Amino acid sequence: MDFNNQEVYKIAVVGPESTGKSTMAKYLAEQFDTVCVPEYSRYYCEHLNNQYTLQDEVNMYYGQVALEEALTPIAKNNILICDTTILTVKIWSDHLFGHTPEEVTNAIKSRKYDLYLLMDIDLPWVDDPLRDFPNEREYFMGIWEKELKAVNAQYKIVSGLDEKRLKNGINAAREIIKKR
């Protein structure tokens, strides 16, 4: 699958905590023989001990944008897979601090993705020191849908366990890419 000289097609893998986003993003990158933009906040939060500030959220916004911009030119087959987007910063900022800085909300309006794969909460919770809300995944799933609709995003909910989930994700991505 080579789209030669076309704009890079961006697929974002998003959703609540512990829903297999990183696994799916890496899998898609392998299947499409391209690069995956990692989730910057995992690196950033490693030593924060879950004590976040609004400035940390802004820093994560800048880090995610920088990673995406650095990796876009080396995307192969005109496809870029993103393990999250800056929309995550908005969701966390709103939840933790009651608002999102204007620089983030403005950027969300202008940064477009061709497809969002919203990972469903049908997977069991896997504890991780960087995860905070095991009992609020249903709430965050609703927030994700609301935020995706607010930016008029094209998105598919990806459900299923193990190989079935990966298959559902790749099929959703291929379906949208075929329409290109």
| Each residue's pLDDT tens digit, 96-127 | 999 999 999 999 999 999 999 999 999 987 76
Alpha-carbon span 170 to 117, nearest angstrom: 10
What's the gap between Cα 108 and its chain centre?
Answer: 13
Alpha-carbon span 20 to 166, nearest angstrom: 9
Q: What is the mean pLDDT of residues 134-158?
A: 94
Q: What is the pLDDT of residues 6-53, one digit of tens each?
A: 689 999 999 999 899 999 999 999 999 999 999 999 888 887 776 789
Q: Does 3 score more than 70 pLDDT? A: no
Domains of the chain: 9-178 (3.40.50.300)
In the structure, what pLDDT confidence band is assigned to residue 4 with cuts at 50, 70 and 90? very low
Q: Which residues contact 61 (CB under 8 A, 6 or more apart)?
A: 86, 89, 101, 103, 104, 107
Question: What average pLDDT is seen over the chain?
Answer: 91
Q: List phi, psi (to 5°) of 11.
A: -115, 120
Alpha-carbon span 55 to 53, nearest angstrom: 5
Question: What confidence score (pLDDT) does residue 48 get?
Answer: 79
